[in-house]
Amino acid sequence: MIYADNAATTKISSNVLRVMLPILSDEFGNPSAIYDLGGRAKRIIENARIQVAEAIGAKTREIYFTSGGTESDNWAIKGAASICRKKNKNHIISTTFEHRAVIDSLEFLRRSGFEVTLIDVGASGIIDPIKLRETIRSNTGFVTIMFANNEIGTIQPIAELGEICRDFDLLFHTDAVQVIGEIEIDLRSLPVDLLSVSGHKIHAAKGVGVLYIRDGVEIDKFMDGGNQERGYRAGTENTAAIAGIGAAMQDAVAGRGNRIFVTKMRDAFFDGVLQLGKVRIHGDKKQRLSGNANIGFDGIEGELVVLKLNCHGICCSTGAACSAGAIEPSHVIKALGFNSNKAKEAVRFTFSEENTFEEINYILDKLKEI
Ligand code: PLP
């Protein structure tokens, strides 16, 4: 099998597995219990909090564990909206190509009385900071823009966008689910108030994530119930998965150098694909995540290409995993300016450091056959 769908999910790394297994088998205590078994589980969680905080230049008290990127996005957006409501600001800004977790949270807010403006990303898939400046109004309270897009991999100028939000005293959230280990994040200097992370995109387990909440941002709690996560996110903690995401964050930062190899492989893939003719690359070719290649094949539905490649043991996708099987064409490709038929031609390959040049050549051979 050739796995080229790392934006959908990643394999748990051997280090993360090594960290998680003894916790699953032995450290089963409830972290809230006051006897030693509980205390040890609590310490495992606090150690992971230190690891996560270190990896992104945050303070430990700014790190909250969640059930994944979707929950982190929901909490950040709905929490920021309630801060806005208290300040009588009912306008929110985002973009046309966010992840569904963001788009649907914004839709929920729209139904409850907020006005939402989505900035057009244009053909490059990169937001022009001037457009953000032009969209801000006197009643704008909050901006959410993803760090890098999960379908086309384009990287946004988050520092610049965050500076604009600072200038206008706006809360700023970014969905950083796809960028951990790819781009250096130092929240001591990066002007971001809320940042979402997901474990399973960085070789940790599914069902665990992080929301960074900057000190001083008085966001409401998300889950009602127990006192876990300092009373902000109730629910008995998934100790093993939390330990795993702590290790994975450290590994991701330490392994950033591998991205050079991944970029070379991806660029070789681009070269080979372009030689096939009648293909196009979706989004800016350079300012994108190292492993992402999103290709449009003229006149062929992406789903057919994915199914044919599957017959050769190759895993790739047409777009976001959570939308797979959806009849609707990708809103991300449409946001670049393509019509629905063209948007259905997209195929996403996302490589990791575990892929090889031999695999790239094999995929190219099979694409040529198809
Ligand atoms: N945000 C982005 C950019 C993603 O790619 C994903 C996963 O596909 C999510 C959020 C949702 O994360 P999770 O699967 O952990 O809920």
> Pocket of ligand 1, candidates 77, 198, 288: which has the most ligand atoms within 8 Å of its Cβ, to mutate?
198
| pLDDT at res. 31 | 98
Model confidence pLDDT, tens digit, residues 122-152: 999 999 999 999 999 999 999 999 999 999 9
Question: What's residue 319's pLDDT?
Answer: 81
Ligand 1 atom closest to residue 71's alpha carbon, by position in its atom list = 16
**Substitution candidate for ligand 1 out of 201, 211, 317 with most atoms within 8 A of CB:** 201
Nearest residue (by CA) to ligand 1, atom 14, is 69
Q: How far does the centroid of ligand 1 lie from the alpha carbon of residue 176, in Å?
A: 9
pLDDT score of 139: 98
Q: Average pLDDT over the chain, rounded to whole?
A: 96
Report the distance separating Cα 314 and Cα 312, nearest Å. Answer: 6
The CATH architecture that domain 2-10+256-369 belongs to is Alpha-Beta Complex (3.90)
In whole angstroms, give the CA distance from residue 27 to residue 21: 10
Q: How far is the CA of 198 from the centre of ligand 1 (A)?
A: 6
8 Å CB contact between 31 and 236: yes
| Protein fold of 14-254 | Aspartate Aminotransferase; domain 2 (3.40.640)
Task: Name which of 54-68, 78-92, 313-327, 334-348 the model is least confident about.
Answer: 313-327
* Pocket of ligand 1 from Cβ distances under 6 Å: 68-70, 73, 99, 101, 146, 150, 175, 177-178, 198, 200, 209, 320-322
Q: How confident is the model at residue 324 (pLDDT cuts 50, 70, 90)?
A: low
Q: Which residues participate in catalysis according to the annotation?
A: 322
Q: How far is the CA of 199 from the centre of ligand 1 (A)?
A: 9
Domain boundaries, the chain: 2-10+256-369, 14-254
DSSP letter for each residue of 322-343: GGTT-SSPPHHHHHTT--HHHH
pLDDT band per the 50, 70, 90 thresholds, residue 293: very high
Count of CA atoms in the C-beta half-sphere (13 A) of 364 = 20
Query: Residue 311's CB: how many other CB atoms inside 10 A?
Result: 9
Neighbouring C-beta atoms of residue 275, cutoff 10 Å: 10
Residues 127/158, Cβ–Cβ less than 8 Å:
no
The confidence band for 112, taking pLDDT boundaries of 50, 70 and 90, is: very high
Specify the pairing of strand 115-119 against strand 140-144: unpaired
Q: Which is the closest atom of ligand 1 to the Cα of 68?
A: 15
- How far does the centroid of ligand 1 lie from the alpha carbon of residue 173, in Å? 15
